[in-house]
Amino acid sequence: MSDACEDLAAAAQHLHSLLGVLRAVSGPDPALQQALDYHQARTRAEAAILAALGKSPDERLLKALRVVQDLPGTLHEAAQRVSWVRGGFGVVVRDDLLETVPPALEWVLQVAADLGCRLEFSAEPEPDTQERLTDRERQYLELWHQGRSYKEIAEAMGVNKETVKRTLLDLRKRHGPSAVPYRRSR
């Protein structure tokens, strides 16, 4: 694989990681690990695109670079820009940040294809956590995101408090802390 192809593969991977972090943010105050992942993916994507641009000047790479450089410097700043909408099963993220990164990823992949690079990579992000939940799990999360206590969730769901704790812990293990943010229990 040529140097340009390696740089394009790295750029695509880091843009995909960046998109994953943005999709996983569950509130205006992201977790520390998410913030570190965002910073790392953003910085590495920018460096890889710059390296690829040096070896293969292309307008699409310039546009992808501008997208990355225009992203907020920190995940906290990015999360503050996101409009948080309470939906039927919890917090739903809708913002232009989630619409600007996929085209940048696609431009990088197009340039790679034009150069004959063989990248084993899909521009499609991983499915949203909400798509992999049962209706019952969505109910638990909706109540949790509403700020309900374990006891209140147990009463609403018709189960005991320990079942609620176990279910939320299981969801956190399966889908990460962004799906079930930590907070003090009441």
Q: CB within 8 A of 70, min separation 6: which ones?
A: 100
Torsion of CA 177, 183, 185, 186, to 10 degrees: -140
Residue with tokens 């209140």: 152
pLDDT in tens, the chain (186 residues): 578 888 888 898 888 888 778 777 666 666 777 778 888 888 999 999 999 989 888 999 999 999 888 888 877 777 666 544 444 444 444 455 667 788 888 888 888 888 888 776 544 444 444 456 788 888 888 888 778 888 999 999 999 999 998 888 888 777 665 567 666 444
Tens of pLDDT, residues 75-120: 777 766 654 444 444 444 445 566 778 888 888 888 888 888 877 6
State the span(s) of the chain assigned CATH 1.10.10. Answer: 129-175
State the span(s) of the chain assigned CATH 1.20.120.660. Answer: 3-114
Is domain 129-175 in CATH 3.40.720, yes or no? no
Which two three-digit tokens encode residue 154?
Answer: 């147990």
Please give the model's pTM, rounded to 2 decimal places: 0.58
Which two three-digit tokens encode residue 62?
Answer: 């310039």
Structural domain 3-114, CATH architecture? Up-down Bundle (1.20)
Q: CB within 8 A of 149, min separation 6: which ones?
A: 185, 186
* Alpha-carbon gap, residue 108 to 149, rounded angstroms: 46
